[in-house]
Chains A and B, each alone.
Chain A
Amino acid sequence: MKKLIALLLALTMVFALCACGAKEEAPAAAPAAPAEEAAAPAEEAVAGSVYYLNFKPEQDEAWQKLAAEYTAETGVPVTVLTAASGTYEETLMAEMGKTEAPTMFQVNGPVGLANWKDYCYDLSGSELYSHLTSDSFALTEDGAVYGIAYVIESYGIIANKALLAEAGYAAEDINSFETLKAVAEDITARSAELGFAAFSSAGMDSSSDWRFKTHLANLPIYFEYQADGIGTTTEIKGDYLDNYRQIWDLYINNSTCAPAELSAKTGDDSRNEFLNGEAVFFQNGSWEYGSLSAVYADEDLVMLPIYIGAGDEANQGLCTGTENYWCVNADASEEDIAATLEFMNWCVTEGADSMANDMGFVIPFDTAVESPNLFVKQDVAYTAEGKTPVSWNFPTMPSEEWKNVVGSALTAYAADQTDANWDAVVTAFVDGWASEYALLG
């Protein structure tokens, strides 16, 4: 009897273990089933499925909706998974290692592509590519198209017009670094009487520091590339870093908080200060339109170019570009690749309306629908006036590590604004650039 019980118990254990093992198989089989069912009624429907690993958490809901619409229309199952903010690389790396890997993912530019090139399908023959309005929105290498940008964004200094008027200025008064500085310093001088500060906090918490170590750092890089007539380099000279210091000084010394407290300020803090009318200026991009338009009317907001006292300021536009390139997983099965290409094309044609209105995107395809996003419209208006947009060169930054070291030096400088601390920023910027590029090779 005892023997029997022992045997039974042992068997239960073995079965329990088998059950654990079997679970992994289950999801793999599941998506295949609806695909077959769907394929049965419509003979020509693609047998594959789409798995999109989305980068932008703020558009997750809109993507889920669009994917459901596509599945309803064509019967092709589309899974959209959104990586949590700031964890895209990790998620992508983990997901790509699985048997059911994403068929569609994104990279942030040439440096991101270096990691994933071996996994990218050549999109040069795709219909999506034929809709692309300019080749500058594609990531090409040796004639192959590895990535196609799907959204164009702009950033600059967002200003609250009502508060600006209260301080006695208009947005048109600000057309150079000098005027921006004069306005900001005047507001700071009278901040007790006015009840608000010039800039919302330039927080250096990881939820916010990318606005400065990446986006603001784009400007000195842009002007250097312009002066040298290049698009990327492995050795930056840092010719415009004095201008970078000027604008950074302006941000941190005319802010809602003491510069020493910036290291703990988050992106939410900064946005909330702007939303509560505690600050006139807020450096951010067109992706913030959704949260800002919930509080402010369009006529209260304006996005100004980031003037740093370099180049032709009279003709400087917003910083406009992209760091979002769609890629297709070359290791996916042929059916899945075909299904993914179909889906991408559908998104920018049939789905163009949803991409413009639900996601607020401006897409670089000839099928684009006008977006209600105010900042995007302003970018178009600036360009129409003959101003030159500042291109996004930060995708050429050598690594995350480079950005982190520069960010760390900027934070240290903010807390104690000495020349020695600024030299540390310059070292991180210039020497760090070269050493990180050396490691990359």
Chain B
Amino acid sequence: MVKATKKWWPVFVLPTVAAFMIGFVIPFLEGLYLSFCKFTTINKASWVGISNYVKVFQDAQFWDSLTFTASFTVVSTVLINVLAFAIALALTRGLRGTNLFRTVFFMPNLIGGIVLGYIWNILINCLLSILGQPLIALNTNAGYWGLIVLMCWQQIGYMMIIYIAGLQSIPNDYIEAARIDGATSPQILFKIKIPNVMPSITICMFLTLTNSFKLFDQNLALTGGDPNHATEMLALNIYNNFYARSGAAWKGIGQAKAVIFCIMVITISLIQLRATRSKEVQQ
């Protein structure tokens, strides 16, 4: 059998590699090439060198969007993971109705981002109108916290399922042994449970971090970047450069931003993976 795999491996690897090339590597390389060009449609591009990148670094809006995205990512990643883990802890204690609660918490994840964005837009506007505050399109704070509430509401259920799976895979012997040795509940949580669910934490951190950083649909539907680009995250900023700007030059600048954005997401997630992986323990 080992011999057969050795002999036939290209047959198994090729389809995946081909799909990866077509779906990722080739578009990425083409995108990289286009970021050095001026174009309206991609088959009529003219080379302009690094001027697109120079313009990106001169664009104040890009840096504002980056700051906004970063502060959103930090807050939402922490909140989602802490809350999801807390709910997962509560729902692995064998309480009555556990299954019902798990289903209910997971449900928001099944609704698409655009739909959620519009629903929350109406909800938040109603609330602001009752409170006599400026509506979300004029209210940067409401836009920021609205996005965070929306993302928490959508993502917590999903992360909760991953944490539940992690918590359930901890052998009961560990916890029993700790109890017999006289460990308190916080000690059990911090010394036994958390180190043992580190693989789940790695995955959840990775998912929330990248999802928040790349957020687009919810941003577009909830605030649309209003007021005046103040709640515009990076992905939306790139999209607006591409479509809301006239002139061929902007397409290249948008493309250059996209390349920088891609490199940023990859770097951040690699650092995060390395940091959390190093804390994983072998059961």
Residues of A within 8 A of B (CB): 2-3, 6-7, 10, 13-14, 17, 89-90, 93, 96-97, 111-112, 114-116, 118-119, 204-206, 260-261, 263-264, 398-401, 404-405, 408-409, 411-412, 415-416, 439-440
Contacts and interface: CB of A to CB of B under 8 A. Distances in A.
A205 B135 CA distance: 12
Contacts of B43: 97
B42 A400 contact: no
Contacts of A115: 40, 246-248
A273 B274 CA distance: 58
Interface in B228-257: 228, 240, 243-250
Contact of B137 (A10, A89, A264): A264
B138 A401 contact: no
Contacts of B121: 264
Contact of A97 (B41, B137, B226, B240): B41
State the main secondary structure of chain A at its contact with B: helix
B137 A411 contact: yes
Given A115-B40, A400-B245, A401-B244, A408 B226 contact: yes
A260 B134 contact: yes
Contact of B41 (A10, A93, A439): A93
Contacts of B44: 118-119
A330 to B, nearest CB: 11
B15 interface: yes
Contact of A17 (B18, B40, B226, B243): B18
B137 A204 contact: yes
Contacts of B134: 260, 263, 415-416
A2 B4 contact: yes
Contact of A114 (B14, B226, B247): B247
B227 interface: yes
A264 B247 contact: no
Interface string B125-158: 1000100001111100000000000000000000
A100 to B, nearest CB: 13
A17 B246 contact: no
A112 B243 CA distance: 12
Contacts of A111: 246
B100 interface: no
Contacts of B1: 2
Given A89-B243, A399-B244, A415 B4 contact: no
A261 B4 contact: no
Contacts of B110: none
Contact of B11 (A7, A89, A112): A7
B113 interface: no
Contacts of A7: 8, 11
B3 to A, nearest CB: 10
Contacts of A440: 246-247
B95 interface: no
B138 A263 contact: yes
Given A93-B41, A118-B40, A264-B125, A404 B138 contact: no
Given A93-B41, A206-B224, A10 B12 contact: yes
A265 to B, nearest CB: 10
A439 to B, nearest CB: 7
Given A17-B15, A115-B247, A408 B228 contact: yes
B246 A399 contact: yes
Given A93-B41, A206-B224, A264-B125, A10 B19 contact: no
A73 to B, nearest CB: 32
B235 to A, nearest CB: 15
Contact of A400 (B4, B12, B125, B244): B244
Contacts of A416: 134
Contacts of A17: 15, 18-19
